[in-house]
A and B are shown apart, each in its own frame.
Chain A
Amino acid sequence: MTATTDARKLAYIAGQAADARVNVELETEGMTLNIGPQHPATHGTLRIIVRLDGERVIAAEPVMGYMHRGYEKLTEVRTYPQITTLVNRIDWLGSFANEVPFILAAERLMEVEAPPRAQWIRTALFELSRIANVVLFLGDMGVQLGAITPVFFAFRDREFVLNQIEAVTGGRFHPNFDRIGGLKDDLPKGWIDETRGVLDRIRTFCDEMEDLVAGNEIFQARTRGIGVIPADVGLSYGLSGANIRASGVDWDLRRDSEMGLVHRELDWKVWTHPDGDSFARYWVRLQEVREACTIVGQCLDGIPSGPVMAKVPRIIKVPAGEAYVETENPLGIMGYYIVSKGELVPYRVKIRSASFNNVSITPWLLKGVYVPDVISILASLYFILGDIDR
């Protein structure tokens, strides 16, 4: 930056400060602004009511329920295989990842274990759905801040990932591929090599996003230091996934717990960022897509041979008991608490979805920020409405 622009910048700042003083002298009145329930900036049907004092938010209250479909009640009248169909649609960008914790919880109660090949393929699909999910975030975050192009890139490259998921499962969006005791089917011929090509494409996409979005001055100015979440606050609100890792908490269930997937046998890294601001959350997710590519690549190399389905009864009756299994899903921790009474249907399923907790911090987080930052903070928290409301 040259001296001239420096001087110009200083003059600009001084002018802004003078304006601000005028604002203080003027008596400002509180104003209520309603964003949503359908608004381009909330990517979904989230409605936020903010009280403003000038440009500053004094209180923000999200209003949810526009996508509440009553999952927990519906699971009480559906059999276990039918619930798999249903839970696909909680986080609709990474559908396969929704099935995994539910199936794992049912498997724990039934004391069956998927064969190794199924576990490896599950892991590969789990991470592919993470890519399909977070890639859209990487582009969409640009849109929220006024850059239209990245989302087209995201949609373009996401299609290739969806193709690979569709090739295995038959569904672009909602695979319904996981079964208690394994997987519905084996991989199609030639899939592994094709997927390697797609991973290269996604790596290129990540590089592009790093240049185009994360490296952009405007993007950095609008995200650095904005929406800072300290680690202890994040923990007490139950934030998870990249949101909590961006606050410096080194906790990833894929590495730190027995999930029933094979992440612990692979060589990859959990990324954290000390800042806890919007930029950190973007950056951590960017790295996580890269790591997901690494994980899928290693899965492709290491998939053992063998069956993909264990012996399970034809009619699934889960023995009485309670089990809670959670996995590190694209949006954060997703868990299912299953209460079974030994019947065809579960007695109660508590669905712990990541976005619900992640968004519950917004009243705290949005207090005192400026209106334009509301959008960038919400975008960086990254939620799926179905995952909030269920």
Chain B
Amino acid sequence: MDPVDDVEAPAVDAARDDLVATLAEALGDGLVASEVQPGVDVWVRVAADSWLAAGVALRDRCGMSYFNFLSAIDWQPSPFGRDMDAQVDGPEANDPGPMEWGTTGGETRFQLLARVHNPATGLGVTVKADLPGDRPEVDSWIPAYAGADWHEREAWEMFGIDFRGHPNQVHLYLPGAFEGNPLRKDYPLLARRIKPWPGIVDVELMPGDGDDESGDDGEGDDA
């Protein structure tokens, strides 16, 4: 959606508001938070206990028959820095700082992230659920959406999230002997420890540029 259309779009989005209302009715307290960007998108955050119920309600009551994806976000920033700059990001762990959550907020380290669609209306919704950092566990979505199978395996492998009732929770991408959960923020990219990133110069300020934010030729990325 283009920003121009944002302005033209109505401030109230009836279809997306209805969706949130239906979910609130179906889940009760299970619906923790929601956010509607009129004409653009809608997010809902449900309690982890209501995760499967939310999937079923979306499928049966909101016509969201299309399963798009399922993944997760690790909101705990890496204790090793962002591995962007070997001079700054040392191998020793630092205090990662407080967690800051995105749209619809959050409470715990992990956040499940799934998206389903209604192919008839073209409406899509992003569903989130908070999971604790020490032992993330949640019901599998396979009873609601058969396609969640591989996505849950991926989330298990990448984040270490357990899906209760998943029939085949084994490695999907990585060799069986692989240790660690790569997409957790505290999983370091060791190759960067050995060799500082040469590309870091690309994002440094050019001499004399100062904090010029307007741009001269509109080209943002070649040095």
Q: Which residues of A contact B (CB under 8 A)?
A: 64-65, 68, 70, 72-74, 76-79, 81-82, 107-108, 111-113, 179-182, 184, 232-233, 235-238, 249, 251, 253, 256-258, 260, 307, 309-316, 320-324, 326, 333, 335, 337, 339, 341, 343-345, 347-348, 350, 352, 356-357, 360-361, 364, 389
Contact = CB atoms under 8 A, between A and B. Distances in A.
Residue among B1, B3, B182, B214 with the most chain A CB within 10 A? B1
18 contacts: A65-B172, A72-B158, A74-B189, A76-B82, A76-B185, A233-B146, A235-B119, A236-B65, A237-B67, A253-B122, A256-B122, A313-B213, A313-B214, A322-B103, A324-B41, A339-B73, A360-B147, A389-B173
Contacts of B187: 73
Interface residues of B, number: 63
B113 interface: yes
B82 A314 contact: no
A82 B202 contact: yes
Contact of A77 (B5, B68, B189, B205): B189
B173 A68 contact: yes
B82 A77 contact: yes
A235 B1 contact: no
Given A70-B182, A314-B216, A258 B2 contact: yes
Interface of B: 1-6, 40-41, 43, 65-69, 71, 73-74, 82-84, 100, 102-103, 113, 115, 119, 122, 124, 126, 145-147, 149-151, 158, 171-175, 182-183, 185, 187, 189, 192, 197, 199, 202-203, 205-206, 209, 212-216, 218-221
The 4 closest A-B pairs by CB, nearest first: A81-B221, A65-B173, A237-B147, A68-B173
Nearest to A333: B68
A56 to B, nearest CB: 22
Contacts of B213: 313-315
Nearest to A313: B213
Contacts of B183: 72-73
A108 B1 contact: yes
B82 A324 contact: no
A191 to B, nearest CB: 21
Nearest to B121: A256
A260 B2 CA distance: 6
Given A113-B2, A333-B68, A360-B147, A77 B192 contact: yes
B218 A324 contact: no
Nearest to A307: B218
Contact of A352 (B5, B68, B102): B68
A333 B69 CA distance: 11
B173 A179 contact: no
Contacts of B68: 238, 326, 333, 335, 352, 357
Given A235-B119, A322-B43, A313 B220 contact: yes
A235 to B, nearest CB: 5
Given A179-B221, A357-B147, A79 B5 contact: no
